[in-house]
Chains A and B, each alone.
Chain A
Amino acid sequence: MSVFQNKVSVLALSSALLIAALSPAQAASEVDFKTAYAAAEAANKEAGRLRDQWTTTQAALDAANKAADAGNFDQAVASAKEAEALARASILQATSEKDAWKALEIR
């Protein structure tokens, strides 16, 4: 591949990325919401099994439901994804604390 061809490829890729970035995102659908919500709920359930759920996860799940009820699926998906991230963080906390708690212990 010549230097010229390389430059053309890079330019084409950059243009494609720029166009993609500037194009308005497709609005989320109810299906997107249901998928995102199910993933968040499953992660929160796992946190519950580990006895370490966070109140903020439930709040984000409630916000997702409320937005979906109002037909605002963009917001509903965003809240569901936030809930999933929080639930995953709580799982990480519970998992790492299995042994980490010993570092705090008075001996």
Chain B
Amino acid sequence: MKLQSAIQFASAAVALAALIVIGPSAIAADSIDPAADAKAFQKYFTDKFPRLELKDFVNGPYSMNEDMRRQWQEKEEFPPYEFSLEAGKEMFSTPFRNGKTYADCFPNGGIGIRQDYPYFDGKEGKVVTLELALNRCREANGEAPISYVKDDMAALTAYMAFTSRGKPFDIKIPNDPRALEAFEDGKRYFYTRRGQLNFSCASCHVQNPGERIRAEILAPALGILNAMPIYRSEWGGMGTISRRFVTCNIQTRGVPLEPQSDEYRNLEYYLSYVSNGLPISGPGARP
């Protein structure tokens, strides 16, 4: 009996010791640590493409091989987004009916601030994207909101991105459990398989960047939003981040969510944060 008790005691002690050793790392695996996530995310891509400079990831598929890069350099001589950029500049400076402009709604008059969006609004307890802020600006000034997926929104964000070109993404996650949960929710959305084709965002943009899906070369997730909005030859026009998310969902045969739904806002927060340090290159052009 004494022997049995001794064995039981020893087993319990071993189990307790194992819990002490394993416990913290198991908890850490489930805790929300955006900085560690961003570090691991960037390392994954720089390990996968060791010849690519970090800043080059913002060029998406054009960074993936020499032919594509040459195509991009030639496109940039007469960029297809130029008309949108001009339209955006004009819209941005045209006063609303009350005499105010978009500049009145943003820090620094809206110039050179793209890299700070999206941000977490502590008052609202939610993520605010640039597209959302632009429509809120319109509504606050008595104007009707514009479509998140059409040309006007693309033009406005193209102009604002252009004024931030070269500035590194600087997304902040405040020490607020709601902000951390928003980041985690965005990550969950990014990795969750959906649609009849059972694809997650990561299926294409983490597991297969540089590979072809039909005629297209898949872009890496790292830096994927830095070039937004983009002119896509496939679309025959400009597209916002909202349009990108919606079409990605449809391509997997999933019903897209409403543009600027909480999930999409959080996804943008996650994807932007893990690309912190990479320069804004928008507006961009893609095949």
B206 touches A106 (CB 8 A): yes
* Top 9 A-B residue pairs of the complex, sorted by shortest distance between their CB atoms: A53-B255, A101-B191, A101-B192, A104-B191, A106-B44, A54-B196, A97-B192, A55-B253, A56-B196
Cβ-based interface call for A105 (8 A): yes
Nearest-CB residue, chain A, relative to B250? A55
Q: Which residue of B lies closest to A107 (CB)?
A: B40
Inter-chain contact B255/A55, CB cutoff 8 Å: yes
Q: How many A residues, CB 8 Å from partner? A: 21
A103 to chain B, nearest CB (A): 8
Residues of B210-269 at the interface with A, using a CB-CB cut-off of 8 Å, are 250, 253-255, 257, 263
- In the complex, whether B41 has a CB less than 8 A from a CB of chain A is yes
Number of interface residues of B (CB under 8 A): 25
A97 contacts B254, CB within 8 Å? no
With A55-B250, A107-B40 as known contacts, state yes or no: A97 contacts B196, CB within 8 Å. no
- Taking a contact as CB atoms under 8 Å apart, the answer to whether B44 and A104 are in contact is no
Residues of A within 8 A of B (CB): 48, 51-56, 58, 86, 89-90, 93-94, 97, 100-102, 104-107
Chain A residues with Cβ under 8 A from B198's Cβ? 93
Contact A104 B200 (CB under 8 A): yes
Residues on the A chain within 8 Å of B203, using CB: 104
How long is the Cα–Cα vector from A106 to B206 in the complex, in angstroms?
9
Selected contact of B195 from candidates A54, A58, A105, CB within 8 Å: A54
